[in-house]
Amino acid sequence: MSERNYKIAVIRGDGIGPEIVDSALKVLDKAESLSGFTTERSYVLAGGSAIDSCGIPLAYGALETCQSSDAVLLGAVGGPKWDNVDPSIRPEKALLALRKGLGLYANLRPAIMYKELASASPLKNSGDIDIMIVRELTGGIYFGENGAFDSTEVMADGTVKGRVAYDTEAYSEGEITRIVRQAFEFAMGRRKKLTLVDKANVLRTSRLWREITMSLSAEYPEVALDFLYVDNCSMQLIGRPSSFDVIVTSNMFGDILSDEAGMITGSIGMLPSASLGKPGTPGLFEPIHGSAPDIAGTGKANPLATILSVAMMLRWSLGEVEAADMIENAVKDVISAGYRTPDIANGENGEISVNTAEMTDAVVEYLCNDLH
């Protein structure tokens, strides 16, 4: 077998997940035949579809299949159908178990504004937006100690506490160092600006992040480092989005800020993501958007975020950088040519309204054209 044969675990998921993953695999098929590598795909059940067929959010053996692959491609999981299942088996648990089980501590969420789509952004005239959010993904409040108990304590105003629930945030030096170092490395390959986002005026964990980040900055003298409190950052992202380059932050803050950054590019349907662990271990690649059950099966879903996630997979896990460039260029080309799914349409002249399948075919066609 050729050295350029890769094992991919594919999780199609729920809602629009299956449609957009199938689109992305069609683009991958074409990239393979143009570029001369091959993939062997194993389908894995996770999320609501796993709950329906096995009663648990991550099917038996799913994690092992992912662990023994070179990369994992995921559509989206969850939907209102599973809103009332027991919290211990919610579809989102599959995602958290995969992140933890695969050791995916670094979550890369690029937010790029395509100039042709700028009119869809609420911040039309704010210049080029090209932000890379580096979110810590396997620690913090998502994975800290939690619990619930009843309390009879009476508060100062006479109210009885009653039921109490708690989630705790803990971060270790090792966890902070590996993610911040990765963020510095990214900044070196980009515009050499790094912003640590935290809440150091209140949280001890944030103060540890700051101390460690400051001492690491001595190793990266070329990178301009600054610090922002998360509340302030959420304003600055709207006020001066083009001034940001790389943002590094904790699991919870990164969850919130990456949704905000996605929105300011005007097109959450365009944004891919990568979750990476130790070099040489499989990464997980998925669009930033959710499973959009309201449009599942209607052909309205934008497949570009998942197609771009395949490009990230080729770049970061499989080392097929040329194929990754080829896919990213084809996506730019279809956008320039005017192809628009409903989420990115704005009624301008020259737009070509397309459905999921037509958008996919357009990307496949431009992939071929790129070679001529």
Which residue's CB is nearer to Mg ion, number 19 or number 255? 255
Site for ligand IPM in 223-262 (CB under 6 A): 255
Answer positive or negative: Cα dihedral of 241, 243, 245, 251: negative
Site for ligand IPM in 146-205 (CB under 6 A): none
Buried b (16+ CB within 10 A) or exposed e, 342-359: ebbbeeeeeeeebbbeeb
Which residue's CB is nearer to ligand IPM, number 216 or number 262? 262
Q: Which residues contact 263 (CB under 8 A, 6 or more apart)?
A: 122
Minimum distance from residue 195 beta carbon to ligand IPM (Å): 19
> Which stretches within the chain are classed as H helix?
17-35, 48-54, 62-67, 92-101, 173-188, 204-217, 230-239, 251-264, 304-313, 321-336, 356-369
The rounded Cα 255 to chain-centroid distance in angstroms is 9
Site for ligand IPM in 27-66 (CB under 6 A): none
Minimum distance from residue 3 beta carbon to ligand IPM (Å): 33
- Which span sits near Mg ion by CB under 5 A: 59-67, 247-255, 295-303, 348-356? 247-255
Site string for ligand IPM, 94-133 (x = CB under 6 A): -x--------------------------------------
Catalytic positions are 142, 199, 231, 255, 259
Which residue's CB is nearer to Mg ion, number 255 or number 343? 255
Which residue's CB is nearer to Mg ion, number 198 or number 255? 255
217's tokens: 């900055």
Tell me: does residue 344 bind ligand IPM (CB under 6 A).
Answer: no
Q: Give the CB-side neighbour count of residue 251, counting CA atoms within 13 A.
A: 20
Residue matched to tokens 């083009």: 242
Buried b (16+ CB within 10 A) or exposed e, 310-329: bbbbbbbbbebeebbebbbe
What one-letter code names the amino acid at 236?
A: Q
Tell me: does residue 343 bind Mg ion (CB under 5 A).
Answer: no
Q: Which of 34, 42, 81, 92 binds ligand IPM (CB under 6 A)?
A: 92
Minimum distance from residue 10 beta carbon to Mg ion (Å): 22
Minimum distance from residue 272 beta carbon to Mg ion (Å): 14
Residues 52 and 159: their CA atoms lie apart, in Å, by: 43
Residue 351 per-residue DSSP state: -
Minimum distance from residue 217 beta carbon to ligand IPM (Å): 28
Which residue's CB is nearer to Mg ion, number 34 or number 263? 263
Tell me: does residue 255 bind Mg ion (CB under 5 A).
Answer: yes
- Which span sits near Mg ion by CB under 5 A: 57-65, 100-108, 250-258, 353-361? 250-258
Residue matched to tokens 């037509």: 358
Site of interaction with ligand IPM (CB under 6 A): 92, 95, 255
Site of interaction with Mg ion (CB under 5 A): 255
